[in-house]
Structure 1
Amino acid sequence: MADSPKIVVLDDDPTGSQTVHSCLLLLQWDVETLCRGLLDVSPLLFILTNTRARSAEDAAQVTRDVCRNLKRAMAKAQSTDIRDRLQPYLIVSRSDSTLRGHYPLETDVITEELGPFDAQFLVPAFLEGGRITQNGVHYIQNHQQLVPVHKTEFAQDPVFGYQHSYLPDYIAEKTEGQVLASQVLSFPASASQDLEPLLSLEDNQYAVVDAVEQVDLDRFAKRVLAASTQGKRFLFRSAASLLTAFGDLPPQPIPAAAMGETVQKSHPGIFIVGSYVQKTTAQLTALLALPQIEGIEISLPPLQNKEVEPSQIQAQVLAQVDAIFRRHNTPVIYTSRQPLTFTDVAERLRFSGLVANVLADIVHHLPPSLGYLVSKGGMTTNTLLARGLSLSSVRLLGQILPGCCVVQTAPDHRFSQLPVVLFPGNVGQPEDLVNVYQCLSRWSVQASTRGDS
């Protein structure tokens, strides 16, 4: 619809598009690139800021730069749009469904630059990944049990840890008491469809939204859009499932089971695993057990202790990859799993960035005949896209598994029409890396049998 708002998503890692399809993901935010994104036909636009991998100071500056350029791009798009006017827009600060990230820093900066807003909503439900919010409490489903998120490993994150699963208390904790839990409104899943509660919001009211199933968010989104047409301005800090409701997209053009058809070459693909959470380690262990898979471990302590240079690691890994390809097997490059210690958060972030750059530089020097690329972990993925593949933007095809995106490079790219799976570290079942491998390699084998090059 011409009057439907453009949903502009500032995504703090590249995995927030894990429930939608057919939209652009921007890895640069200059005015020209943003203008192109605003005028794209999709109702959704993702700007990959990668702020979760940055220090608080850098995250604030990046968010500010994006917002200021976004205002300029909107003015330019307005003047060049072939329609009478550029459609209205909603701003979403997309973040982790396990409550990690620079909050409320990012929403504070967005409010300063693009506000004022009548209200800001915290909506962390990611239903495809088993993360629900009920009676204001955020849970992660573990098998058949709902675990309050503050009792999981994610709450112990060395950079973004927290103590509360009850979202009003979480907001009070993260705002250091500037917003009291008693001041936070709750929108239950059973809320009526009356618009008055939304229309009455003003002066940057904080609110949390329950969601146990997608229909809860669909109803909430419908009310939000209706209130927006009456002049209300809202800001959202959300996980991916709210974007499904806002986008209201038809089924993705390529079904998940057929996503392997995007593999252009008969040459095997490659897996890059940077995430270190327990879920990733379990998935990696299952993948490495396959006979056609050969692992290449990058030991991190020597890199941390400066006993080895990144260029040495790159040369060694690329030589091993070449040998594995010649054996017609699939390499899995992964970082060592043992915990590392750091003097402070800044040092941890700097080293994480160094590791991501090492992995990206390896990808940059892979042979262009690569069949596919699977990247596991948010920070790893963002750096691989921007630095390893030198992309300023990429088109999202859809999902290969719940919560796992597939993007594809352009035909004129060095890695022509390369499918890249963006696999979040905290998503999936133990067998899901194996499932992705079987889907993509099956088509690769079929292409080889047909004699494709």
Structure 2
Amino acid sequence: MTTIDSTVKRLVQEVFSSIQTVDTESVKDMLKAELANLNKKIIVLDDDPTGVQTVHGVSVYTDWSVESIEKGFQEENAMFFILTNSRGFTAAETEKAHTEIAANIVAASTKQNKEFIVISRGDSTLRGHYPLETVVLKNTIEAASDIQFDGEVILPFFKEGGRFTVDNIHYVQYEDYLVPAGETEFAKDRTFGYTKSHLGEYVEEKSAGKFTAENTTYISLESLRSLDIEGITNQLMQVTDFNKVVVNAVDYVDVEIFVIALVKAIETGKQFMFRSAAALTKVIGGVSDKALLTREELIQEETNHGGLILVGSHVKKTTEQLEVLKTCDFIEFIEFDTHLVLQPEKFQEEINRVISTTESLIRDGKTVTVFTNRERLDLGEGKKEEELKLSIKISDAVTSIVQRLNVRPNYIVAKGGITSSDIGTKGLEVKRAAVAGQIKPGIPVWYTGEESKFPGIAYIIFPGNVGAVTTLKETVEILNK
């Protein structure tokens, strides 16, 4: 078998044209029949609010109290989400949160007498507190119940964002090319960086050698596309000692075929933890396809006020999208000098300026975009935790714009994972939101709950690294038609 160099980019057309096709309708029928046998509540822990970017008609809870988790268990839906926002946490905060979440899940499960599956939904470009989160979940659940996990499924495929796994290598699509994830800007993340694109090697790197590429089980595209359900099920049956299962996927049908085999393995008693991007949640949750949302569906309460767009993400794609957005003549732009965070008094003056200007413009019917400095604060080597804490202060400041707003915008768009989480939970004070669907592929919309600051407002959660350079502008144009 030819070994693929995991540092080399590949032409999309060449890679995809060599992959066997499959009858997708028959796969969907098989999946539906198999999911009917899966009598477990699916609980998705979302490390930022963008994880609902493939689903609709599901609930998102913004706290992990036993009461909230019990409400999730009592819903008719097979699946619910808990927003942890742990990508904005320190390692210690993440460990504490996941210990609490796991203990509360077991307590709620016991009270409701219902089994569960936990999916740790992480970034499709492999950033986040991994393997910390799933290790803490595993250890806490095993200590509090009779569940023993056999393995962990790793499935970062996310079609809407151009994230594909081929030959066990995870790729990010840039126009006509698939670039190994380890060669992208995401791998150079100051907090969550990594070097390996081969997912077995990524696991070995992130676990400091505790789990190895050699002991990883690989579900190949060849076995998926040849519908070798029995063979894949047998592979899953052999997994022990919390070793990893890497799933190759370039389309939803690959995930569907895998889930058919997975449910068969689960039915025989195998227990798995999951670290995945958003595609797995849609498939295992049995969520149907839905057309993109229209303005009529999005704006349920028309006002004479403008909309509010908040841009916090610093990734290159966000900055490019912001530049295109600036060509809209119906938007007023306010630059928020977040580097003043190093000078507390001046920072507070800047916050007050931004809020008063924003409120005045929205009240006058103008749509406003507030954007943070495009350069990240760099405190130098060995200052990761300090930088993370400063970024949280900045996010709190952006959130305070919504907290202190005395006028209801026509809609709110938040750009970036940490930004959108804090605005949802602290700014809008959402306890439970309903996922309406997507305004563009991979860009989810919440309808806020009755308890929130602006009940029923369309809250558009725009991931930092999703869409073309024109997608932010197109999204806002839909909302302003």
Q: Tell me if both proteins adopt one fold, taking TM over 0.5 as the criterion.
A: yes
Structure 2 counterparts to residues 146-185 of structure 1, below 5 A? 146-185=178-217
Q: Does 1:269 align with 2:307?
A: yes
Aligned length: 431
Q: Name the counterpart of 1:383.
A: 422
Does the aligned pair in 1 maintain the 2:306–2:363 contact within 8 Å? no
Q: Name the counterpart of 2:373.
A: 336
Distance in 1 (CA, whole Å) between partners of 2:391 and 2:161 is 25
Cα deviation 1:18-45 (Å, max 9, x = unaligned): 1111111111111101100121122221
Say which SS state the counterpart of residue 149 (structure 2) adopts. Answer: coil
Distance in 2 (CA, whole Å) between partners of 1:229 and 1:373 is 43
User: Structure 1 pair 412/391, CA: closer, same or farther in 2 (3 Å)?
Assistant: closer
Cα deviation 1:394-436 (Å, max 9, x = unaligned): 1111111111110011346431210100111111111111111
Distance in 1 (CA, whole Å) between partners of 2:450 and 2:206 is 45
Q: Does 1:69 align with 2:90?
A: no
Q: Does 1:33 align with 2:106?
A: no
Q: Does 1:6 align with 2:38?
A: no
Q: Report the Cα offset of residue 260 of structure 1.
A: 4.5
Structure 2 counterparts to residues 412-423 of structure 1, below 5 A? 413-423=452-462
Cα deviation 1:90-145 (Å, max 9, x = unaligned): 11111001010111111110110124211101111111111000010000110011
Cα deviation 1:324-366 (Å, max 9, x = unaligned): 2355321001101123212511111111111111111110122
Does the aligned pair in 1 maintain the 2:53–2:278 contact within 8 Å? yes
Does the aligned pair in 2 maintain the 1:98–1:124 contact within 8 Å? yes
Does the aligned pair in 1 maintain the 2:200–2:246 contact within 8 Å? yes
Q: Name the counterpart of 2:327.
A: 289
Q: Does 1:426 align with 2:426?
A: no
- Identify the match of residue 351 of structure 2 among 314, 319, 328: 314
Alignment TM-score, normalising by the size of structure 1: 0.92
Does the aligned pair in 2 maintain the 1:95–1:239 contact within 8 Å? yes
Say which SS state the counterpart of residue 222 (structure 2) adopts. Answer: coil
Distance in 2 (CA, whole Å) between partners of 1:301 and 1:114 is 42
Q: Report the Cα offset of residue 50 of structure 1.
A: 1.0
Does the aligned pair in 2 maintain the 1:119–1:235 contact within 8 Å? yes
Q: Name the counterpart of 2:269.
A: 231
Q: Name the counterpart of 2:398.
A: 359
Letter in 1 for 2:344: K
Q: Name the counterpart of 1:82.
A: none
- Identify the match of residue 249 of structure 2 among 202, 208, 211: 211
Q: Name the counterpart of 2:18.
A: none
- Identify the match of residue 93 of structure 1 among 120, 129, 132: 120
Cα deviation 1:239-274 (Å, max 9, x = unaligned): 01111211222233xx31415433112322110111
Does the aligned pair in 2 maintain the 1:283–1:432 contact within 8 Å? yes
Does the aligned pair in 2 maintain the 1:140–1:147 contact within 8 Å? yes
Q: Name the counterpart of 2:6.
A: none
Distance in 1 (CA, whole Å) between partners of 2:37 and 2:222 is 30
Say which SS state the counterpart of residue 383 (structure 1) adopts. Answer: helix
Deviates more, 1:13-22 or 1:338-347: 338-347
User: Structure 1 pair 122/39, CA: closer, same or farther in 2 (3 Å)?
Assistant: same
Deviates more, 1:121-130 or 1:197-206: 197-206
User: Structure 1 pair 441/225, CA: closer, same or farther in 2 (3 Å)?
Assistant: same
User: Structure 1 pair 413/341, CA: closer, same or farther in 2 (3 Å)?
Assistant: closer
Distance in 1 (CA, whole Å) between partners of 2:453 and 2:419 is 20
Distance in 2 (CA, whole Å) between partners of 1:218 and 1:422 is 26
Q: Does 1:113 align with 2:149?
A: no
- Identify the match of residue 139 of structure 1 among 142, 149, 171: 171
Distance in 1 (CA, whole Å) between partners of 2:453 and 2:315 is 32
Distance in 2 (CA, whole Å) between partners of 1:260 and 1:113 is 45
Say which SS state the counterpart of residue 377 (structure 2) adopts. Answer: coil
Ranges in structure 2 where 5+ consecutive residues have no aligned partner: 1-35, 143-147
Distance in 2 (CA, whole Å) between partners of 1:307 and 1:390 is 27
Deviates more, 1:208-217 or 1:37-46: 37-46
Distance in 1 (CA, whole Å) between partners of 2:38 and 2:168 is 32
Identity, % of aligned pairs?
34
Distance in 2 (CA, whole Å) between partners of 1:174 and 1:418 is 40
- Identify the match of residue 302 of structure 1 among 322, 337, 340: 340
Does the aligned pair in 2 maintain the 1:368–1:415 contact within 8 Å? no
Deviates more, 1:130-139 or 1:2-11: 2-11
User: Structure 1 pair 284/178, CA: closer, same or farther in 2 (3 Å)?
Assistant: same
Q: Report the Cα offset of residue 313 of structure 1.
A: 2.9
User: Structure 1 pair 260/304, CA: closer, same or farther in 2 (3 Å)?
Assistant: farther
Ranges in structure 1 where 5+ consecutive residues have no aligned partner: 79-85, 443-453
Say which SS state the counterpart of residue 50 (structure 2) adopts. Answer: coil
Does the aligned pair in 2 maintain the 1:131–1:138 contact within 8 Å? yes
Say which SS state the counterpart of residue 308 (structure 1) adopts. Answer: helix
Alignment TM-score, normalising by the size of structure 2: 0.87
User: Structure 1 pair 198/394, CA: closer, same or farther in 2 (3 Å)?
Assistant: same
Q: Report the Cα offset of residue 2 of structure 1.
A: 7.5
> In angstroms, what is the RMSD of aligned CA positions?
1.6
Letter in 1 for 2:40: P
Does the aligned pair in 2 maintain the 1:260–1:441 contact within 8 Å? no
Distance in 2 (CA, whole Å) between partners of 1:111 and 1:272 is 36
Say which SS state the counterpart of residue 435 (structure 1) adopts. Answer: helix
Distance in 1 (CA, whole Å) between partners of 2:234 and 2:326 is 55
